[in-house]
Structure 1
Amino acid sequence: MTIYKRFSTYYRHTISIFIAVVLTGCAVFAGLNFDSLYGEAQPQQRMVATTSSQAQHYINDVKPIIDNRCVVCHACYDAPCQLKMSSAEGIDRGANKDIVYQGTRLLAVDTTRMFIDAQSTAEWRDKDFFPVLNERTQSEEANTQAGVIARMLQLKQKHPLPTEGILDDSWDFSLDRNQQCPSVEEMSRYEQQFPQWGMPYGLPQISNHENTILMQWLANGAPMATIPAPSIAELNAIEKWETFLNTNSLKQQLTSRYIFEHLFVSHLYFDDIESGQPTFFQLVRSTTAPGKPVDIIATRRPYDDPETDVFYYRLEQVRETIVDKTHMPYALNEAKLDRIKSLFIEPNYSVTSLPSYEASVAANPLIAFTDLPVEARYKFMLDNAQNTIMAYIKGPVCRGQLALDVINDRFWVFFVDPDLPNMSQQNAFYRSQDENLTLPAEKESNTLRPIANWVKYAGQQGRFLRAKNAYLDEKFENNEHLTTRLIWDGNGTNSNASLTVFRHFDNASVVQGLIGEQPKTAWVISYSLLERIHYLLVAGYDVYGNFGHQLITRMYMDLLRMEGESNFLTLLPAENRHQELADWYQDAHLYLTKHLAGDINEVSSPPAITYTTDNPKHELLDMLKTRLEKVLPTRYALESTQLTNESKGYLKKINQVKGESASIFPELTFIMIEPEDAALDPQLFTLIRNSAHKNISSLFDEESNRQYSRDNVTLVNGLLGSYPNVFWRLKEAELPALVDQVLKVKTEGDYKRLLDNVGVRRTDPSFWYFSDILMMQYKKNHPIEAGILDYNRVENR
């Protein structure tokens, strides 16, 4: 009888596949066939109690496979087909054929933010998301034949990836590749046209053991569990913070609004609560009071009108797997709460009314929060400056070429000291400049005249800078502010005082400290600049906006970048300022050259700094590095590795790669070295290529501005970046030979031979084994900061 049942099941299974193949001449017939075979589709109840055996199987056995094999490509806005597999709810939501990153659209589109813009699978179906799990009759046959994920896994098993070499041109790994996004009704045609394109796409098939676990889970109806609830200690901490944030006084309401608009993209956690792995939360606005389930107010931007007189700031648990490209951990504790109270609540000032949510006010923080002390706002952002700057990179986007081609590939960031005299008097000055401080976000998300708007904003920026310089001349005699004392030293304890920004073409990284050799450019950021960048690129940026909105955002960032650079240049002798600008902006467009020659370089007064060499910029950067010496972290220093001193010496030689040789290397190479001492963990490194440009102010034509002869590399200890392009793996004993080969790379052929020796390519049968070791070591080294890496940019070389 058992044999008969097995034969019968196999027979029905085979017949079903045969019928499906016969009737897939078009998607319509396929859809009718699935309906006739398995009934009409409707969302299923897949969530099970967290205490059930099904939930434990999902959490312990299934979810780790999905995280480490699927989420590496399917997370954030750039997930292929908007299929976000980083949560049970995202898997059940399914996919959508619309592309979020569509830079040519004329009108903004509706937002599709997970957990915000819809709260159930049925609501997502109304927004044109189609299932990737079977939503028809729940049987093993239907679940494996009428589900996209199951069919994709089976397709990969039938047509595994080649096990060596480089994949041919039939594979497209470009970010803008033509995504197929088949529904289950379209799967048969997809399987016929693209038999090699099973999942994971362009990577080795998962192991037989992993495949068996996933297929059996799918066959059983894909039962899933939501995340475990916070601990009692965390719930108590949440209650304390929510009580504080929802106090009724006008001073508190304005403070809470300010905190929300600056932390809404951060992952908050309680670092004074002992736990194995912290629980992360996001600050949201809710219609429900503390103690009740969160009901998110889903506005397009954090400063949009909540359209209700009564709402609450709540800490909602992050329900998605932590992925590196969106992870910005921000610690909450008693000391942080006391610090916020000392900055915003305890000082003697009054708030008599709350600012409007009209865009003309809410989009401009220098106007909206004018009642809050300037020094309080500035210190709040500086306390965690890396997080503040990182939000520009990780917050609203996962693919930011249009925004990021406005910055150099590597530069250092310094900050104006918040304890300078007269800081508290600046509010009146900003009020006087309200017409010159408007931001593009005031025009919502459908700006259609970006060039004309740039001219307008450039004029406003010029007027603001001239007024600011006049204000500073009035407040400071004999240029006493133009010294290295202008720069915040972190009060001798805060390592956020200096940052290094690395740009990796269409993504970037922000790290504490001054990493690498002296850069071409540097920024000095003041309060008003820091605030405006946040409201331009984070609070006011709309990834779903139209082409005009995204373009004017990028163009306005030109102005803010030049302001930061100009602040740095004011510390140099006047003649050197012009020399540096000429080098930084070679062949710049006439409109930009005019702006540079006038508004942006208006300061002519000499700094109160004595220079003794013919290279003042080099001297200045050395002086600033000395000033910040106490707070410069060593995390990325090669000296911090556990390899032998001899090996450290070899590693440092890699930084000698320069010019066109450097340009052959990818943006980010992740390196794993197995130490000679077997008791030590694998040592991780990142080789970063820094691409040089004549200027970074030309739109859409980066290649014509490239200066390959000035490219260089920076090798750092640890992993830096979320989107690796290449992986290397070697033993410590092989390091001398590796370095010798790296220094001899002059052609693409040389580079290919290098990868033949140490590369872990897409086709490498050990790819997933290597990936697991890399991720485990990354999480072990940095359990708070680490997240799942993204493999969408892994090269095929």
Structure 2
Amino acid sequence: MILLLAVALSGPTEAPAQEPDQAGSPVPSYTADIQPIFNKRCIACHGCLGSPCNVKLTSFRGVERGGFGQNPYSSHFLASPRTGMDVVQTTAEWRARGFYPVLSRGGSKIENQYLSLLYQMVENGTRHNSPGFSRQALMPLYTKRYAHQCPATPDALRAQLKQNPAAGMPFGLPALDNKDFKTLQAWVRGGSPGPTEAELRAAETPNNPAAVLAWETFFNAEDKRSQLVARYIFDHLFLATIVLEESPRDYFRLVRSKTPPAATPAAAPAPVAVIDTPLPYTNPYKYAGVDRVYYRLKKLTTAMLQKNHFVWRLNHGDIEHLKALFLEPDWGDNAKLDAPWDIGNPFLVYQAIPVEARYRFLLENSELIVSGITYGPVCLGQTATYAVKDQFWVYFVDPKYDVSVLDPKLGLDTWNTFMDRSLLGNDSYEAAYGQALKKLQPKGYTIDAIWNGDRKNPNAWLTVLRHESNVSVMKGRQGGIPRTQWLMDYSGFERIYYDTVANFEYWSGDIPKLETLVFFNYLRQEFEDNFLLLLPEGDRQAIRDDWTQGIGQAALALEPFAGADQPTQIETSKHDPILSLVGDIQEHMGEAVSGPVDLLNPHIKPKVSLSDPIKSYDDWVKAASLLTQTHAYKFPRYLPSVILLKLTDGDDDARVYSLIANRVYATQDTLLFQDGQELPHLYTMSIYPTVIGGFPNYFLEMDLKQAGDFLRRLRDVQSLADWNRLRDRYGILRNDERFWPTYDWFTAWNFANRGIKAGYLDLSYYDLFDSVY
């Protein structure tokens, strides 16, 4: 013990001697003291599947589980273990899977501190990450981040930190302030206790159990049609965050459980026992070894992370709507209600449910479903996002005109063709789809073939943005007219969802992930082609070739253009057919769907000058709009993906804008496109009057008096060095003493202004080094 104490105070960590704990002082509360520190300073990087070293700090269960040595983002041929928090339930089971502890308890205070990996990392940060630390010292660690190996023992970690002092936590960001550090230290020294049973019960209890029971009763109805509908909804929304209007301040997730709901509103429900199957369609009965499975709403007790937080907002009236949508239509006398499990083909499994009901469910919740496609449960998308273009709009074929609704099987002999991800399988599907178009839409589409949400549902028009390794989805027409656009039909919607979500194994090796990426490319091309069918036949191929260039032309030649020779009933301007078509779509949708006029990203610019003084937010909007959605300037090629701007007018009035870079590539059909397929002369910037994305690259701060200077300097950027000078003038670098106060301000604004849609921002890509972009 004496030797251990001596090493702890003067050994390899070179830690300064700590003040002794005050006699009799209580150990800090995990719920009241420790989790709030993790929320505001740690979960920005340690909050999801695949966080660094697989350390997940959103709950005590995650902290207790600890870390895992395999780098989740390294290239690996074989599958790795699943790491979802509900895969197993006990710490012993996680240890058996290879997770190691990051806490130490059961010894003296100094032993608990000395042997805690978590404490070592944070303490190292307090010594090396004071504001003003070297950003350049982080570069060697950042460039090798995918090869990083996580040490599993205190001695191994001490050796690594001695070799790389900049690797303390929070990584590459200012250290915890002294108060938070002392609180964390006292908790570690006190044995790192978790929440009390009373605190856990209080956190897990819904504010309105009756509202929860009403939905659980709906999902667990006894008749086979209702059971199949519940399966269908679960398959498509198992990643969504559910908010019940009748149970305010609560968040839920739809799960399958071994335990039933409460028998009556007055009865206490059994605790949810999650059956965490590998895939949503895996047979839960066989997987869990049970005779009955129940759908439950599991209350979420962890902080929301914006990068994987998308909300299904419900009220009690939606129960009746879903019953009417799914159960009132005629299912036919020969509907196969005993659908098979373990098959990732919704066309086969759910063929008993009327196809229009399935499609309308997807349409009414399109932002949610597409968010599942683009967000997912993992931290970073990496190469999975390579097939996604940086900015595009999405529309949907109206069910009355959709050939995959009118003839669900498209004349094919088997449902298997729909989910055949091979080149031949996709060709067969496209050939069948083209024949169905020729048969069922011989005159081509009218503008009414685009679903307009009855001119009131904004899910009819989506804006999708890619920010390098992550993606954002929003309702309505936003960001200015994009370079490419999609028109999705029912069968394509299901195919892309099952390819990228329901069938996606985040734990798999590289080959299955590559197959997902390739199939996504097929589907993206299909939806772009569907949109081109709205244009005159003579314009289509030229636009198609313009949207995919260079070496992508070879891939494009292999991808059939279903319906390429279809006529269209939409008349467009010969001068600019796409602009003309967008105008028709806007009129068809109406402002309730499209959203208000986008003054920040107009096609026709206002008659103002950047030399004019900016005295109001209206002046700012007009001036800033001169730099959006234009190829006239070089600055977009030097912008990072996401910039959050705090713009103030006096001490009490501040607004947030997101400056988003829209990059363009010759093709998305190669994993290496970022290394040689850039078309920087086509890059643009869009500005949004809110927080966009979950991964900001920079925070900027200025007042209206400075806004004109900023815009003029931005306009004049000719090189990366020019941009860096402008960034340094108005930006908050990661080593700035203002960093955490600024982050806290944006966090507070986000939750105050975006409400249930807000979550904590991720800092994995904040202030990326100049050599990276």
Q: Is 2:336 aligned against 1:357? A: no
Runs of at least 5 residues in structure 2 that lack an aligned partner in the other structure: 15-24, 262-268, 603-613
Select the residue among 307, 316, 320 that pairs with 2:298: 316
Aligned to 1:156: 125
Select the residue among 177, 181, 203 that pairs with 1:207: 177
What is the distance in 1 between the residues matched to 2:26 and 2:528? Answer: 57
Amino acid at match of 1:468: Y
Decide whether the 8 Å contact of 1:288 with 1:294 is kept in 2. Answer: yes
Matches within 5 A, 1:724-763: 724-763=696-735
SS in 1 for 2:628: helix
Select the residue among 284, 291, 295 that pairs with 2:255: 284
Decide whether the 8 Å contact of 1:364 with 1:439 is kept in 2. Answer: no
Matches within 5 A, 1:131-210: 131-137=101-107, 139-161=108-130, 163=132, 166-168=135-137, 170-174=139-143, 176-182=145-151, 183-210=153-180
Select the residue among 650, 653, 660 that pairs with 2:626: 653
Aligned to 1:384: 365
SS in 2 for 1:776: helix
Q: Once the two structures are superposed, what CA deviation does each residue of 1:385-418 show, in whole Å capped at 9, x if it has no partner? A: 1111000111243322322111211011001112
Amino acid at match of 2:441: F
Aligned to 2:452: 489
Aligned to 2:282: 304
Decide whether the 8 Å contact of 1:439 with 1:536 is kept in 2. Answer: no
Select the residue among 690, 693, 699 that pairs with 1:718: 690
1:170: Cα distance to partner?
A: 4.9
Q: Is 2:8 aligned against 1:17? A: yes
What is the distance in 1 between the residues matched to 2:316 and 2:141? Answer: 51
SS in 2 for 1:561: helix
Q: Is 2:202 aligned against 1:220? A: no
1:590: Cα distance to partner?
A: 6.4
CA spacing shift, 1:174–1:510, aligned 2, 3 Å? farther
CA spacing shift, 1:259–1:519, aligned 2, 3 Å? same
Aligned to 1:515: 478
1:54: Cα distance to partner?
A: 7.8
CA spacing shift, 1:16–1:55, aligned 2, 3 Å? closer
Matches within 5 A, 1:184-583: 184-225=154-195, 228-229=202-203, 233-273=207-247, 275=248, 278-290=249-261, 291-306=269-284, 307=286, 308-350=290-332, 351-358=335-342, 362-420=343-401, 425-429=406-410, 432-440=413-421, 457-479=422-444, 482-583=445-546
Decide whether the 8 Å contact of 1:656 with 1:743 is kept in 2. Answer: no
Matches within 5 A, 1:628-707: 628-630=589-591, 631-634=593-596, 638=600, 644-655=617-628, 658=631, 660-676=634-650, 678-680=651-653, 682-707=654-679
What is the distance in 2 between the residues matched to 1:321 and 1:782? Answer: 15
1:279: Cα distance to partner?
A: 1.4
1:653: Cα distance to partner?
A: 2.9
Q: Once the two structures are superposed, what CA deviation does each residue of 1:299-355 show, in whole Å capped at 9, x if it has no partner? A: 210101221442111111223321111111111212221111001122232544311
1:204: Cα distance to partner?
A: 0.7
Amino acid at match of 1:235: P
1:95: Cα distance to partner?
A: 0.7
SS in 2 for 1:319: coil
- TM-score normalized by the length of structure 1: 0.86
Amino acid at match of 1:184: P
1:512: Cα distance to partner?
A: 1.0
1:214: Cα distance to partner?
A: 1.5
Decide whether the 8 Å contact of 1:325 with 1:789 is kept in 2. Answer: yes
1:136: Cα distance to partner?
A: 4.0
CA spacing shift, 1:435–1:21, aligned 2, 3 Å? closer
Decide whether the 8 Å contact of 2:659 with 2:686 is kept in 1. Answer: yes
Amino acid at match of 1:256: A
What is the distance in 2 between the residues matched to 1:222 and 1:421? Answer: 58
Decide whether the 8 Å contact of 2:369 with 2:497 is kept in 1. Answer: yes
Q: Is 2:591 aligned against 1:622? A: no
Decide whether the 8 Å contact of 1:326 with 1:394 is kept in 2. Answer: yes
CA spacing shift, 1:637–1:549, aligned 2, 3 Å? farther
What is the distance in 1 between the residues matched to 2:642 and 2:499? Answer: 27
1:513: Cα distance to partner?
A: 1.3
Aligned to 1:113: 84
Aligned to 1:453: none
Select the residue among 565, 573, 577 that pairs with 1:604: 565
What is the distance in 2 between the residues matched to 1:643 and 1:142? Answer: 59
Query: Percent of aligned positions with the same letter in both sequences?
Result: 28
SS in 1 for 2:295: strand
SS in 1 for 2:659: strand
CA spacing shift, 1:424–1:568, aligned 2, 3 Å? closer
Aligned to 2:760: 788
1:248: Cα distance to partner?
A: 1.8
1:660: Cα distance to partner?
A: 4.0
Amino acid at match of 2:590: E
Amino acid at match of 2:576: N
What is the distance in 1 between the residues matched to 2:532 and 2:696? Answer: 34
Decide whether the 8 Å contact of 2:49 with 2:83 is kept in 1. Answer: no
Aligned to 1:30: none
Higher mean C-alpha displacement, 655-664 vs 747-756: 655-664
SS in 1 for 2:518: helix
Q: Once the two structures are superposed, what CA deviation does each residue of 1:52-79 show, in whole Å capped at 9, x if it has no partner? A: x989943333222211111111111231
What is the distance in 1 between the residues matched to 2:629 and 2:511? Answer: 42
1:693: Cα distance to partner?
A: 0.9
1:679: Cα distance to partner?
A: 3.4
Q: Once the two structures are superposed, what CA deviation does each residue of 1:704-751 show, in whole Å capped at 9, x if it has no partner? A: 111111111111111101111111111222111111111111112211
SS in 2 for 1:320: coil
Q: Once the two structures are superposed, what CA deviation does each residue of 1:484-509 show, in whole Å capped at 9, x if it has no partner? A: 11111111111111011101111111
CA spacing shift, 1:356–1:55, aligned 2, 3 Å? farther
Amino acid at match of 1:120: T
CA spacing shift, 1:22–1:530, aligned 2, 3 Å? closer
Counting matched residue pairs gives 729
What is the distance in 1 between the residues matched to 2:596 and 2:556? Answer: 39
Amino acid at match of 1:333: N
CA spacing shift, 1:159–1:368, aligned 2, 3 Å? same
What is the distance in 1 between the residues matched to 2:509 and 2:4? Answer: 47
CA spacing shift, 1:587–1:126, aligned 2, 3 Å? same
Amino acid at match of 1:185: D
SS in 2 for 1:782: helix
Decide whether the 8 Å contact of 2:392 with 2:465 is kept in 1. Answer: yes
Aligned to 2:43: 71
CA spacing shift, 1:222–1:734, aligned 2, 3 Å? same
What is the distance in 2 between the residues matched to 1:338 and 1:233? Answer: 22
Q: Once the two structures are superposed, what CA deviation does each residue of 1:613-670 show, in whole Å capped at 9, x if it has no partner? A: 3221221122112222331234986499995322222322332664642111101111
1:245: Cα distance to partner?
A: 1.1
Please provide the CA RMSD for this pair: 2.7
Decide whether the 8 Å contact of 2:599 with 2:621 is kept in 1. Answer: no
CA spacing shift, 1:232–1:119, aligned 2, 3 Å? closer
Aligned to 1:33: none
